[in-house]
Chains A and B, each alone.
Chain A
Amino acid sequence: MIALLIRDLRLAVRAGGGFGLGLAFFLIVTMLVPFGVGPEAAILARIAPGILWVGALLACLLSLDRVFQLDFEDGTLDLLATSPVPMEGVVLVKALAHWLTTGLPLVAAAPAFAMLMQMDGPGQYWLMLTLALGTPALSMIGAFGAALTVGIRRGGLLLSLLVLPLYVPTLIFGAEAARRGAEGIAAGTPLLLLAGITAGSLALIPFAAAAAIRMNLR
């Protein structure tokens, strides 16, 4: 399984792997919003948690169709299904690789982007914390959507339609916790619910996604 993780990370950083795509998209959103909304610092700081969370979510969505599709097309998924690695483990590793190449860079870059949106120190801290807690759930839920649509040519649209409703709770609690944290209100409840979504999807989705892949390989 470590071999699979290393291979996926290596594929992501080599030419054409799509590494940095999510980050670039996140940067573009963050830079465009002030042009659209206007430069008043008070307004920007108020909408920043929501905008940054939506941006991070869409950036995650952007690279989801690659999670299983490429391996399906070149036959790797067939060969992995007949290998000693359990399909649940393959799903977990693939989602982890997706998070390491998409979610983690977003978390690391969040303070800088928050600064562009006029958020102050505690706000940056809370945004980073909520993204760190929430983006693993985005990668896991996305891996489930990718597993469902793996056999479908140009399944990106269907994938987005399937995954976006499932992303809504993560977005609500993530943005809410970041907003409350930034405004100095107690943010414990949304933060715990966000952590709960991540823990639940980590525990359950590998089984659901592995079943979906087995169906799609038939």
Chain B
Amino acid sequence: MLIPCPHCGTRPVEEFTFLGDATVIRPTSLEPSSMDDWMDYVYLRDNPRGNYAEYVQHSGGCRAWLVVTRNTGTHEVHSAVAAKAMKAKP
């Protein structure tokens, strides 16, 4: 698999480290009532066949954390964007 790092260009997958689901958003509430949201954030993951956005670090390159969208069925990589640029403001 090849990943188009926005900083380093297209590089082989061995240079990258996968973390997982990039669609989850860290809750901001510290109230006990928000515990369900926290449980979902820490543990609950979809396992889709098809497009999936994942946090991936270019650990053997520029070390930037990226959001890589790929098709889990075909392994086709659709995009790789710096996580910093992707971050959805709550």
Q: Do A and B bind each other?
A: no
A interface residues, Cβ below 8 angstroms from B: none
